[in-house]
């Protein structure tokens, strides 16, 4: 059964969506296999490995972040890769971004190592099934979108070189989910030091991450933290992902401890 937080994020995710993107969101939200994979991924991440949230709430937040950034790029007259390649529309790009973000961490159900590759294997038949429902009789469109979705999943850890703006948004959106609430449950369960502790404690210092319109570029990411340990999340996680992302030219990144001057990292 879904938590109240998940249901709230579902409503937030669907709000404002139209056309195929909305249809895709409704299919993903209602899919029992996707939900089960998300939930078990979190069991493995939190209870077995002592990592931060990698489950339904996290994946929904990443989807919301990624779609918001896609809209900001469009508002800034930046074309997505499918549009530049004349291989699809902006709606197609948003559909792929949504699907990739919503399933990007299901590979955690097998474990941490190479979970982005495991995620591609687990997601491929699901993506195929959902796209057949969304685009019956359009095999070329389904092949293109499936490839883009799987690129987004494969590339979200910055271990695999990606080449589309769409996949680059998944990479950055994932890194942006680092506010302190993400580390609350594993920190409550932890009784002794374990591998994921630095991620938990650094994330616990991050008060808020705001994704908004930039001054010189379409997107500005602002990270405010209560303690300097939060810079670990910015410098070792988010910045690494921004640097590997094809969407980097459109990003501004600032971070600061409350009461201090912001540090400019990108833009």
The stretch 75-102 carries a mean pLDDT of: 98
Specify the pLDDT at position 187.
43
Distance between CA atoms of residues 106 and 121, nearest Å: 10
pLDDT digits (tens, 9 = 90+) for 30-56: 999 999 999 999 999 998 988 888 999
Which residues 6+ apart lie within 8 Å of 3 measured at CB? 56, 57
Specify the pLDDT at position 36.
97
Residue 64 near residue 12, CB atoms below 8 Å: yes
Work out whether the CA dihedral 128, 134, 136, 141 comes out positive or negative: negative
Distance between CA atoms of residues 185 and 50, nearest Å: 9
The stretch 168-197 carries a mean pLDDT of: 68
Q: 211 forms bridges with which residues in the sheet?
A: 221
Residue 16 tokens read as 């404002």
- Considering the chain, what percentage of its residues have pLDDT values greater than 70? 92
Distance between CA atoms of residues 143 and 227, nearest Å: 46
pTM for this entry: 0.91
Q: Which of 101, 113, 124, 118 is nearest to 33 (CA)?
A: 124
Distance between CA atoms of residues 197 and 54, nearest Å: 15
Q: Which of 139, 146, 160, 165 is nearest to 85 (CA)?
A: 165
The stretch 68-83 carries a mean pLDDT of: 98
pLDDT(200) > 80: no
pLDDT digits (tens, 9 = 90+) for 105-131: 999 999 999 999 999 999 999 999 999
- What are the boundaries of each domain within the chain? 4-266
Identify the three-state secondary structure at position 172: helix
The stretch 80-89 carries a mean pLDDT of: 98
């Amino acid at each position: 059964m879904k938590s109240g937080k998940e249901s709230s994020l579902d409503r937030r995710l669907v709000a404002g969506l139209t056309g195929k993107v909305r249809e895709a969101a409704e299919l993903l939200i209602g899919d029992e296999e996707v939900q089960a994979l998300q939930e078990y991924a979190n069991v493995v991440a939190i209870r077995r490995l002592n990592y931060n949230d990698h489950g339904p709430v996290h994946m929904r937040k990443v989807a919301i972040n990624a779609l918001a950034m896609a809209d900001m790029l469009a508002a800034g007259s930046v074309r997505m890769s499918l549009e530049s390649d004349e291989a699809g529309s902006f709606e197609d790009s948003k559909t792929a971004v949504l699907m990739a973000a919503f399933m990007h961490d299901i590979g955690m159900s097998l474990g941490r190592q190479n979970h982005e590759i495991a995620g591609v294997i687990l997601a491929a038949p699901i993506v195929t099934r959902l796209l057949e429902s969304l685009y019956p009789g359009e095999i070329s469109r389904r092949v293109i979108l499936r490839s883009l979705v799987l690129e987004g999943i494969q590339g979200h850890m910055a271990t695999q070189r990606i080449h589309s703006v769409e996949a680059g948004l998944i990479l950055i959106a994932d890194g942006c989910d680092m506010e302190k609430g993400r580390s609350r449950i594993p920190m409550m369960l932890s009784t002794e030091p374990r591998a994921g502790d630095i991620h938990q404690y650094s994330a616990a210092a991050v008060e808020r991450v705001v994704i908004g319109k930039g001054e010189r570029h379409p997107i500005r990411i602002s990270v405010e933290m209560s303690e300097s340990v939060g810079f670990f999340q910015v410098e070792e996680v988010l910045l690494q992902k921004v640097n590997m992302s094809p969407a980097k030219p459109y990003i501004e990144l600032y971070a600061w401890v409350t009461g201090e001057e912001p540090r400019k990292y990108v833009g």
